[in-house]
Amino acid sequence: MNGVILDGDSLGQDIDLSPVTNCFNNIEIFGSTEPDEIAARIIDADVVLTNKIRLGPDELKHCRKLKMISVMATGTNNVDLAYCAKNNIQVCNAKGYSTPSVVQHTITLMLALSTNLISYQKNVKAHAWQQSNVFCLLDHPIQELSGKTLGILGYGDLGRSVADVARAFGMNILVCERPGSKSADTKERIAWQQMLPQVDYLSLHCPLTPDNEQIVDTSALALMKPTAFLINTARGGLVNSLDLITALKKGVIRGAGIDVLNTEPPSTDEILLAEDLPNLVVTPHNAWAARESRERLLLQMVENIRECQNNHFPRSVLAGY
Q: What is the pTM of this model?
A: 0.91
Check: CB of residue 159 under 8 Å from CB of residue 152: yes
Domains along the chain? 2-96+291-309 (3.40.50.720), 99-282 (3.40.50.720)
pLDDT at 182 (0 to 100): 58
**List of residues 6+ apart from 48 with CB closer than 8 A:** 3, 4, 6, 42, 55, 66, 68, 69, 70
pLDDT at 178: 83
What CA–CA distance (Å, rounded) separates 209 from 207?
Answer: 6
- CA 89-93-95 angle, to 5 degrees, is 155
Cα–Cα distance measured from residue 8 to residue 308, given in angstroms and rounded to the nearest whole number: 20
Given a contact cutoff of 8 angstroms between Cβ atoms, the answer to whether 70 and 301 are in contact is yes
pLDDT, tens only, 8-61? 999 999 999 999 999 999 999 999 999 999 999 999 999 999 999 999 999 999
Please compute the mean of the pLDDT values over residues 203-210 and round it to a whole number: 92
The predicted-structure confidence for 159-189, as pLDDT tens digits, reads as follows: 999 999 999 999 999 999 988 765 555 668 9
Q: What is the pLDDT of residues 50-66, one digit of tens each?
A: 999 999 999 999 999 99
Nearest to 256 by CA among 208, 192, 203, 191: 203
Banded model confidence at residue 319, pLDDT cuts 50, 70, 90: confident
* Whole-number Å distance between alpha carbons of 29 and 15: 13
Angle between helices 117-125 and 99-114 in degrees, nearest 10? 60
What number is the average pLDDT over the span 76-93? 95
- Can you give the pLDDT at residue 246? 97
Which amino acids are annotated catalytic? 235, 264, 285
pLDDT (0 to 100) of residue 186: 64
Cβ atoms of 233 and 98 closer than 8 Å: no
Q: What is the pLDDT of residue 185?
A: 58
